[in-house]
Amino acid sequence: MQEYIDFFQQNTIMALVWLGLFAALIMNIVKSMNAAYKEISVGQATHLINRENGVVIDIRTRDEFKKGHITDALHILPSEIKAGNFASLENHKSDPIIVVCRNGQAAQESANLLAKAGFSQVNVLKNGLTSWLDAKLPLIRGAK
């Protein structure tokens, strides 16, 4: 035990960095366990879309959406979700909802807001559209 104490005293900065990383990891695990949404893979997303009437909500900018989006994706901006302007989704409250952004980070807040609004099966595509492209799945080009 004394060896550990000596190590931490001699390497204070490194020990603090490791403790900070460990605390961040624990907070991330707790946050994901308590989230109102579920993070899903590309395979799970395609299953929800094809077999369970899943609805894809793309929250990227209009220009990004026009450059390429998942087939039948609805384009709703995060600001519209914050304001509660998602009337096009009201008849999908019990369907699986898949929120997609560029890399999976921005979708989390929108997913939480949708879950609080009463949507029962809210999901976030892990790593966003990047993972969709990495899986070499198709995108639809142009406005919808």
What's the alpha-carbon Rg for the chain, to the nearest Å?
19
Those residues whose C-beta lies under 8 Å from the C-beta of residue 20, and which sit 6 or more positions away, are none
- Spatial separation of the C-alpha atoms in residues 108 and 37, rounded to whole Å: 8
Q: What's residue 137's pLDDT?
A: 95
Tell me the per-residue pLDDT of 55-76, one tens digit each, with 9 for 90 and over.
999 999 999 999 999 999 999 9
Binned at pLDDT 50, 70 and 90, residue 99 comes out as very high
**CATH topology (fold) of 37-134:** Oxidized Rhodanese; domain 1 (3.40.250)
Listed residue (116, 134, 126, 64) closest to 73, CA to CA? 64
- Spatial separation of the C-alpha atoms in residues 31 and 41, rounded to whole Å: 18
Tell me the per-residue pLDDT of 26-60, one tens digit each, with 9 for 90 and over.
998 887 777 889 999 999 999 999 999 999 999 99
Q: What pTM value is reported for the model?
A: 0.79
Listed residue (60, 78, 82, 80) closest to 69, CA to CA? 60
